[in-house]
């Protein structure tokens, strides 16, 4: 399928009009922009009062088309811009000619690490969480799920597919990722001409200086098979940024899912001994939440860790591992000393109220966001990073709850920055103070803002030693903790690995005791994480693992090391909520049955054949069973509930 010619032929056909939203105090205004000239793929838009000018141009880039946009303040006064709206082409027919709206699938890529990522049909509701506190932590208040069938949105990029023809189109954001981009599809019955798109740039409350020009993030369009356009998009981003993946994804141990915040040095030392003696190629050992006095009070430790942080880091390094430490640099709890003594650090709205970032019972209630642009807070953050890296000696920094630095409605000390730029400014400070050597992992982070600022990124919600909890269904969020939602994100966001960063699919747990997961679910978890090629963090108390559990982790480490250099893709991510075919072109493919009952499973291999045309046979990783020649449809017979089959791919 070729790129639709209109994408690079006519700007006005792509963007017939535009609008800039502004804010002054509590007053909001909309400046409607009209097209005033168009020539050779370049267009100019101006509002009636000549306050703002928008310039748009296009060029071919790889297999797609790249668009560049510039926004100018034409006034002699500053202008606070909040959004740029681009109501796009007139009908879905322009992208997917003759498509039946009932057979359209739309990929929603959520805002941050934990946000829902999955494909939707016209009749499916993108569920909005019932509680605002849940939305704060799992969604973007500026782009909440619609809770209405056919009203679909995505952030950073989307894929829109015709499930009958197999054709799809990708619309995506390119660098420098200084704004948040929302892509809306209003999918209406009665024919594709009634359906329409809209693109929205979110600046937060950025102030544009008099006569200043702002280069916006670019746009990129391509068409083809869904997995192919996703691969091409992330390859384009890697080419643009110059990203080079490390030699392999790391293997480590993390304290969180065994102990949560109930840790002490003795528990850590016991696990360090087990990890060191296991013989597995561990790279890092991470101390998670529970070492600090309070959220925001990172220069003070709990009594059990008083004076022992450097000692622990030195011991981890002596064991041949990189010492890792968790902290949440832009979050502060109400019960912390920082909250009480430095209210000026907090993000506040135009009326001066501190903005809540969420609720966490482990942190004793509500927590707030901090202004990453405030000079005194930046001094404090510099001191924290210096203490962690230079004084204590930690080399692997897990930076969590990062969305707290860019909350909707926050007035920044640095007026010229967008929400995305504020967060990036804070992350660049952490990198500058930590130096080039430490690994920085982002978590709870708006994904686009992490490009170029983190080495690894959590790409899904928290996992757990259970499938899903009832409260996740009651609260109506696909971001609720548990293995189900974590695995879905691992599968769908797998193409980000090796192009933007090292994917962090969250921890694995191999223990068969003290868990609510069945054997099939544990194995499916290990298979999905291995084929993803991302980093692997084990979160089991080492003394509880049987020899067979350690052997399973050894297999996981071997396959993951092979897959870390491959490109992973869920081949059916546009066809179902949780994909069932997961391929890595390093030579592995996994098949899943996510249904609760036993199912007789047959898998159409057409997408696999198109992606790996040299494949001639599949060899079962456990039994050695050989499938040759490759059939058009692979019949795996009865598969247990939430089970998997993993195969090595042999090529001619």
Report whether 423 contacts 438 (CB < 8 A). Answer: no
Task: From residue 550, give the alpha-carbon distance in Å to each of 320, 324, 520, 547, 559.
Answer: 19, 22, 16, 5, 14
pLDDT digits (tens, 9 = 90+) for 91-126: 777 778 888 888 999 999 999 999 999 999 999 999
**pLDDT tens across 453-511, in order?**
999 999 999 999 999 987 777 777 778 899 999 999 999 999 999 999 999 999 999 99
Burial, 614: exposed, middle or buried (Cβ in 10 Å; 0-12, 13-18, 19+)? exposed
State the Cα–Cα distance between residues 448 and 175, nearest whole angstrom.
9
For residue 101, what is the DSSP state? G
Of the listed 462, 572, 585, 612, which one is catalytic? 462
Mean pLDDT of the chain: 94
Note the pLDDT tens digit of each residue in 273-286: 999 999 999 999 99
Decide: 88 and 15 in contact? Cβ < 8 Å.
yes
User: Which whole number is the average pLDDT over 509-523?
Assistant: 96
The per-residue pLDDT for range 185-216, each reduced to its tens digit, is: 988 777 666 778 899 999 999 999 999 999 99
pLDDT tens-digit series, residues 21-40: 999 888 899 999 999 988 87
Burial class (CB in 10 A: 0-12, 13-18, 19+), 335: middle
Cis? peptide before 177, omega within 30° of 0: no
Mean pLDDT, residues 345-354: 95
Q: What pLDDT does residue 395 have? A: 98
Contacts 24+ apart (CB under 8 A), 38-42: 38/10, 38/11, 38/12, 41/8, 41/9, 41/11, 42/11
* C-beta separation of 410 from 347 below 8 A: yes
Report residue 5's pLDDT band, with 50, 70 and 90 as the boundaries.
very low
Q: Report residue 567's pLDDT band, with 50, 70 and 90 as the boundaries.
A: very high
Instruction: Report the percent of the chain where pLDDT is more than 70.
Output: 97
Q: Find the catalytic residue in 400, 455, 504, 585.
A: 400
400: annotated active-site residue? yes
Q: How far apart are CA 555 and CA 283, in angstroms?
A: 16
State mean pLDDT over 48-70. 90
DSSP 530: H
Give the up-direction half-sphere exposure of residue 93: CA atoms within 13 A in the CB hemisphere.
Answer: 9
Q: For position 6, what pLDDT does the model report?
A: 45
* Cβ contact 71:103 at 8 Å: no
Q: Which two tokens stand for residue 188?
A: 């209406």
CB atoms within 10 A of CB 651: 11
Q: What is the percent of the chain where pLDDT is above 90? A: 85
> Could you tell me the domains of the chain?
6-241 (2.70.98), 293-304+322-457 (3.20.20.70), 581-651 (2.60.40.1180)
Cα dihedral 134, 488, 448, 355 in deg (nearest 10): 10
Residue 8's pLDDT band, with cuts at 50, 70 and 90, is very low
Q: Are 443 and 402 in contact (CB under 8 A)?
A: yes
Find the mean pLDDT for residues 145-166.
95
Annotation marks residue 595 as catalytic? no
- 292 forms beta bridges with 301
Sorted by sequence, the CB contacts under 8 Å of residue 569 that are 6+ apart come out as 227, 230, 231, 494, 495, 582, 583, 584, 611
| Mean per-residue pLDDT, 290-319 | 98
For residues 42 and 57, is the Cβ–Cβ distance under 8 A? yes
Angle at 537 between CA 533 and CA 538, to 5 degrees: 125
């Amino acid at each position: 399928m070729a790129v639709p010619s209109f994408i690079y032929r006519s700007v006005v056909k792509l963007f017939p009009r535009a609008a800039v939203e502004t804010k002054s105090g509590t007053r909001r205004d909309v400046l409607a922009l009209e097209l005033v000239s168009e020539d050779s793929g370049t267009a100019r838009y101006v509002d009636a009062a000549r306050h703002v000018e928008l310039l748009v141009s296009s060029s071919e880039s790889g297999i797609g088309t790249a668009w560049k946009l510039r926004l100018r303040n034409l006034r002699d006064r500053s202008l606070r811009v909040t959004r740029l709206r681009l109501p796009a082409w007139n009908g879905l027919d322009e992208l997917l000619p003759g498509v039946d709206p009932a057979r359209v699938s739309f990929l929603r890529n959520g805002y941050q690490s934990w946000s829902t990522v999955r494909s939707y049909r016209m009749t499916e509701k993108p569920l909005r969480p019932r509680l605002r506190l849940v939305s704060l932590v799992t969604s973007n208040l500026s782009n909440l799920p619609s809770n209405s069938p056919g009203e679909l949105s995505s952030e950073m990029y989307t894929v829109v597919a015709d499930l009958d023809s197999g054709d799809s189109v990708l619309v995506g954001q390119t660098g420098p990722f200084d704004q948040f981009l929302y892509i809306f599809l209003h999918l209406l019955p009665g024919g594709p001409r009634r359906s329409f798109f809209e693109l929205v740039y979110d600046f937060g409350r950025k102030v544009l200086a008099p006569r200043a020009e702002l280069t916006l993030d670019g746009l990129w369009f391509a068409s083809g098979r869904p997995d192919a356009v996703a691969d091409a998009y992330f390859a384009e981003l890697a080419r643009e940024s110059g990203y080079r993946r490390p030699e392999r994804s790391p293997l480590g141990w993390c304290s969180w899912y065994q102990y949560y915040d109930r840790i002490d040095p003795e528990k850590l030392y016991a696990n360090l001994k087990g990890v060191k003696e296991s013989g597995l190629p561990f790279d890092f050992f991470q101390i998670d939440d529970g070492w600090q006095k309070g959220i925001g009070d990172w220069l003070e430790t709990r009594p059990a860790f008083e004076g022992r942080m450097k000692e622990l880091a030195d011991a981890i390094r002596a064991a041949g591992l990189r010492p890792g430490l968790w902290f949440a640099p832009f979050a502060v709890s109400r019960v912390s000393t920082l909250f009480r003594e430095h209210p000026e650090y907090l993000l506040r709205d135009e009326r001066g109220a501190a903005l809540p970032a969420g609720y966490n019972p482990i942190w004793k209630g509500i927590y707030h966001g901090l202004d990453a642009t405030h000079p005194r807070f930046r001094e404090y953050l510099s001191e924290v990073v210096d203490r962690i890296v230079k004084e204590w000696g930690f080399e692997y920094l897990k930076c969590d709850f990062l969305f707290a630095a860019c909350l909707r409605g926050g007035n920044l000390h640095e007026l010229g920055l967008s929400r995305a730029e504020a967060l990036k400014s804070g992350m660049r400070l952490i990198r500058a103070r930590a130096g080039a050597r430490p690994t920085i992992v982002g978590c709870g982070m708006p994904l686009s803002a992490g490009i170029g600022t983190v080495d690894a990124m959590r790409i899904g919600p928290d996992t757990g030693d259970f499938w899903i909890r009832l409260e996740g269904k009651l609260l109506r969020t696909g971001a609720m903790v548990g293995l189900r939602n974590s695995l879905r994100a691992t599968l769908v966001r797998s193409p980000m690995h090796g192009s933007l960063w090292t994917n962090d699919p969250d921890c694995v747990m191999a223990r068969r005791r003290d868990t609510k997961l069945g054997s099939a679910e544990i194995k499916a978890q290990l298979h999905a994480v291995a084929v993803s090629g991302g980093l692997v963090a084990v979160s089991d108390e080492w003394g509880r693992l049987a020899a067979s559990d350690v052997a399973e982790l050894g297999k996981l480490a071997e396959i993951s090391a092979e897959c870390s250099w491959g490109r992973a893709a869920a081949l059916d991510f546009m066809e179902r909520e949780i994909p069932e075919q997961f391929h890595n072109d390093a030579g592995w493919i996994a098949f899943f049955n996510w249904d609760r009952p036993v199912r007789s499973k047959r898998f159409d291999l057409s997408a696999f054949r198109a992606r790996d045309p040299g494949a001639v046979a599949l060899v079962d990783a456990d039994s050695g069973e050989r499938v040759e020649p490759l059939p058009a449809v692979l019949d795996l017979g009865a598969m247990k509930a939430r089970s998997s089959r993993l195969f090595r791919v042999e090529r001619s």
